[in-house]
Structure 1
Amino acid sequence: MVNKSEVDKLPKLSGIYMFRNCSKLLYIGKAKSIKDRVRTYFLNAITDWKIDYLLKEADSITFVVTKNEQEAILLEAQLIRDQKPKYNVLLKDGQPFVYYLITNNEIPKFEIVRNRTKKGYYIGPFFSKQHARRIHNYLVREFQLKLCNKKIETGCLDFHMGSCAGFCKISRSLSKFASHPSTSSGRAAAHGEPVEPYERLWKMSIESYKFRLELVKNLLEDNLDQFKVSIENKVSEFNQLMEYEKAAHLYKYLENLSSVMKILNTNFSYGNYADSVAYNASSLSDQNIKRADISDYLKEFLKLDFVPSVIDCFDISHFQGKWIVGSCVRFIDGKADKNSFRKFKIKTLTDQNDYEALKEIVSRRYRDKENLPDLVFVDGGKGQLSSVKSIISDVECISLAKKEEILFSSNFSDGIKLDLKSNIGKLLIGIRDYAHHFAISYHRNKRSI
């Protein structure tokens, strides 16, 4: 059970807090003041059975401080999606953010999307989905950015209402000439009309549309003040015409825009917190583990005849067998040596093969034999350990299989199950999880490019 005295160690700053049990994350929350928010859990435990169960199961609380509350919201959402803690429900499934996307098509589309899977220019993320959608709908109407697949000679209803870009009308005019052979001058005889004026109109319409789209892009990224002035002028115009309902409706979009822009202007980047999250989400943050004693712990537990002062831990990350990347984190005398951290984009594989991926990154990491550590630690089981030992047979290697948390080494060829509550168990799982978070951070960056 987590001790109430843990609250005194927490800061009165914005950020996220994590309830943990050994190596497992139980709950992730956000707060404007971490200390004040966590204190309420102990006050509400009597009346809320879920909080009571959480406090009984947790044995520690860690935290990551953020620049402001908005970044705490975004970081919390991302971590809940990645880690799926037991007690989190609201943000556990699905994509917590939305983005604005300007596609790379001949006629670019201005879309609102949940995931960064299409090619194009992204703006975001936005956590307030409802507000973001309202702003998107307003911008589409205000700047005539709606694209439809219709071909109507006089234009669709949305075109006459001022929201459709009007390509439906021009497409219909051009389609009349599609079945007629063009001459070298670019004209076709169809009902006695030349094609060229319609082609010119088509190009001019695309240029005008792209210009309006660029205005929206600049608005969302830079020129918020001018956009506010434009809306306020329109509100004033509606008021003078006594169209008060339109003015009130438009002003709501201004209020929503402020909310969305507040998050946009935070320039949130998960990478800014990746290292803090990796450390605090792992068992390495446990107060009972003294960093200076890590090497001694490992020598005794692994039954080594030397002290492993320099430890490298490798991890592989992928998405459905694609986008395969690797990571290597180094600890020297119990301290993370960040200058020696390495990220690897797998070059020899296109499909998932953890064994071959490990061989590749280990070979690349130790091209210079002077970089060899005292101990190599691999995320995986017997197969992964054998792959690595085939590359560096003269270095002590160990592996740790997830879920069962069984460790394999030269002295534990059949494996030994770790005690998750022991210091050595927390230590080994913590190092493994640290490397895993580092790999995930790199993997996320590669997929977003």
Structure 2
Amino acid sequence: MIDRARIPEDPGCYLFSDSEGAVIYVGKAKNLKKRVSSYFQKRDLDAKTRRMVETAVSVDFIVTDTEVEALLLENTLIKKHRPKFNIDLKDSKGYAYIRVTDEPFPRIHISRTMTGTGSFYGPFVSARERDEVLRLLKTTFRLRSCRQLPKRACLRSHIGSCSAPCIGKITEEEYGERVRRAEAVLKGDIVGLIQHLRVEMAERAAGDEFEKALELRDQIAALERLTERQNVQRQKTYDEDVINYIVSEGTVYLMLFNVHTGMLAEKHEFVFEYAEGFLEEFLARYYAEREPPKELILPEPVDESIAGYLTHLRGNRVRTTVPQRGEKKKLLDLVRKNIEIGFFGDRIKLEALRELLNLSKIPTVIECFDISHLAGTAMVGSMVQFRDGRPDKRNYRRFRIRSVKGIDDFAAMAEVVRRRYARQKDEGRELPDLIVIDGGKGQLSAATAELGNLGLVIPIIGIAKREEEIYVPGESDPLPLNRREKASLFIQEIRDEAHRFALAYHKTLRKKAMVS
């Protein structure tokens, strides 16, 4: 059973594995949680994806800082694992070139072969990266892509993505300069081109050519986005291992990234009891069974004897680095971020919630209620329970509303809260640390009143759907909280699960009613 609750909402890559531990699919996402969850929520999956979901028994993930980084990492992981459900790029389609033609107004396009005149750049192993580079060059420098110059301006000209040499809106000399800039990018001289454009932009602005200066500014911005490269794909000719850790309550949570010739190849996780000098002991034991890399990036210095020992194992010098800034520090921070999310994601959410609501303790058990109906018919209630930050489906409950006629969400909410906690109280069962009500002040007031009638004092909040505002009893205004903060996102996650569960029960009752 794949545990989706632990998956973060960060960008990154996800890896589905089968029962034997083999990676069967690698994907990237701007929001890992939403993307992975979508596989299990959609009913109209194509046959291949459906087989992949049925085969997958576990999912792993690697968090990145940006979606671009995730895309680059995805290519690396696919090359490493060769998952059977990813697209096979063995055919020539995956290895096309970008061609700049030899014409008075050259065009830029994809070429499968190096035939014909002009310049060819590539080949590009990743079709996605190739297409993104081509798109950026065409729109940034407004180059034509049409096979023949038309007699009148095309749609690309009207939307401003082509300089329209077909109707004489640009001279051959000006167009040629744009082509030379595009070729500089394809040759890899992006930094030099940006410096040149900055100088020209300043000169244009000084000469009151503000329109030209603005165009150059946009080109610079686009090129800077293109130069955004993942921390794990760097121009290195040697291997590195990046190690970071967090110590919590006497336990060490350590993660190691293998970076081979500048590209992240694998991550490893370790959990063990804390002891003084644990990092040096770990290095000695870990590399006793495998060849050390040329460089180790660490969060703290280690004894020189460790570097000497690793050098002996490798047969040539092993360098240990403790970076304070730059790319290596970003890599170190990225490993720590993965530790925090992988091992402490749930605890961080709970701690943020405790702090937001000023609770006396971390809300280990949270129960959330929702009401679902269609114009007052088939009215049902749901209760979901989160334990230690994750759904505990064994303790989900659903209710058919008995005492309410017509549309009265407040009375329906009061009924399910009363039924749930009257029974828990009478039978001496566990009570939650926090109650979440799906609704605004009205639903919250109804639920709070029922708790009072039962003589129970339990922290309770309400979340209004429209603006994701969070209310507490006795306050007319919502809490001053950004809806993208950790605590707010966690409450939304709990509410969404309660809503899903209620809606599923409501649909079941409607189907039964239709059949009968």
TM-score range, shorter chain: 0.3 to 0.5
Question: What TM-score results when the alignment is normalised by the length of structure 1?
Answer: 0.40
Q: Whose RCO is larger (CA < 8 A, sep 6+)?
A: 1
Normalising by structure 2, report the TM-score.
0.35
